[in-house]
Amino acid sequence: MNIYGVWAIYRFEMARWYRTLFQSLVSPVISTTLYFVVFGSAIGSRISDVGGVSYGAFLVPGLLMLSLLTQSVSNASFGIYFPRFSGTIYEVLSAPISYLETTLAYVGAAATKSVIIGLVILATASLFVELRVAHPFAMVLFLVLTAVSFSLLGFIIGIWADGFEKLQIVPLLVITPLVFLGGSFYSVDMLPPFWQKVTLLNPVLYLISGFRWSFYEISDVPIGVSIVMISVFLTACLTVVWWIFKTGYRLKS
């Protein structure tokens, strides 16, 4: 593996992020604070607990997933789209670095940014509620797998998009609604039976449920199902990326 080539692209992507580090970190901190003020105080005062966990603490995994998914997609999509827009993607494609190494560098940088933001949100949340992580290893595993999987999705979107407007379509119109409707701010058990079945069709539910289990050992679906779902999604994204580089879709034209 061309370690130097991967490191060069990775370092370039991280350096670009560092130039806007203040805005990148302040935004999730403010958003998290507002969620706790609105949901934790206004709504939480009317909900005693959910599954034996205070509503404020119950919110934390959902808030983390909301930011992690949107940030992963946005960081990765812009990271690969900008070289296509400026034409520098041809320099990357002609460099002595394989498609796997190129993907590893771009997706690795995007996932790193998302994980850092996730940890910042976790630290911010700990100022409002008392957190406990029952399974730290599982929490880190879900955090990393989710960041990598949705960074791959963002990588695919960045190649598919032919304009800056399209970069925002999936995060705004698909990812965010799925997170809100995937049990991030409520338990599926609170819904009527019909809507419980409908919610089970939402793939994001399995990510949030598994991530919440790592904190409080409560979940809407079995933890094994959550692991299988994230593995299937990761495999599907890897397959699409392989096909893109094999065919040169929107890269060589």
Residue 213 near residue 62 (C-beta atoms within 8 A): no
Q: Residue 191 domain-assigned?
A: yes
Q: Residue 178 domain-assigned?
A: yes
Residue 40 has pLDDT above 70, yes or no: no
Residue 251 near residue 160 (C-beta atoms within 8 A): no
Q: What is the mean pLDDT of the chain?
A: 86
Per-residue pLDDT reduced to its tens digit, 209-244: 999 999 999 988 999 999 999 999 999 999 999 898
Q: Residue 53 domain-assigned?
A: yes
pLDDT at 41: 66
Q: Residue 193 domain-assigned?
A: yes
Q: How confident is the model at residue 45 (pLDDT cuts 50, 70, 90)?
A: low
Residue 155 near residue 103 (C-beta atoms within 8 A): yes
Domain count within the chain? 1
Residue 1 near residue 102 (C-beta atoms within 8 A): no
More confident residue, 183 or 21: 183
Q: Residue 137 domain-assigned?
A: yes
Q: Residue 253 domain-assigned?
A: no
pLDDT at 180: 86
- Per-residue pLDDT, averaged over 170-180, amounts to 85
Beta strands in 103-156 (DSSP E): none
Domain ranges, residue 11: 3-247
Residue 17 has pLDDT above 70, yes or no: yes
pTM comes to 0.89
Q: Residue 252 domain-assigned?
A: no
- The residues with which 54 forms a beta bridge, in sequence order, are 49
**Residue 88 phi, psi (nearest 5):** -75, -10
Distances (CA, A) of 227 to 5, 104, 230, 246: 32, 22, 5, 29
Q: Residue 239 domain-assigned?
A: yes
